[in-house]
Amino acid sequence: MSKCTSELLTRIAREPSEGLYLLLRVAEAGQVQRAAIERAGFVVRHQTTLVPCFAVSGPGHALNALLNEPWLVRVEEDRPVEAL
């Protein structure tokens, strides 16, 4: 199973420098993961530990450096959520 949608991967392939807001769901939200995310080129905007996740912004191509990390569980676009 892929860590992110094919739509997101296609979007990054078309515009690798496009700035994205992403949620990186991880197995553990620690300093090792944060450092790797920042080295890849993302800015960490928020970090949660109850549900291990980093809200990040940066160029789409930076995701390529993280997709093979074993601690990266899932990548989603950070979008507004609407309640019904």
pLDDT of 1 higher than 80: no
Is the residue at 70 inside a domain?
yes
pLDDT of 31 higher than 90: yes
Domain extent, residue 37, equals 6-77
Q: What is the pLDDT confidence band of residue 82, given thresholds at 50, 70 and 90?
A: confident
Sign of the dihedral through C-alpha 50, 26, 40, 13? negative
Q: What is the pLDDT of residue 84?
A: 84
Q: Which residues of 66-75 are buried (b: 16+ CB within 10 A; e: fewer)?
A: beebeebeeb
Sign of the dihedral through C-alpha 9, 11, 16, 17? negative
Residues 6+ apart with CB under 8 A from 32: 71
pLDDT of 37 higher than 60: yes
Is the residue at 14 inside a domain?
yes
Query: Global pTM?
Result: 0.91
Q: What is the mean pLDDT of the chain?
A: 94
Is the residue at 1 inside a domain?
no
Tally of domains in the chain: 1
**CATH number of the domain that 54 lies in?**
3.30.70
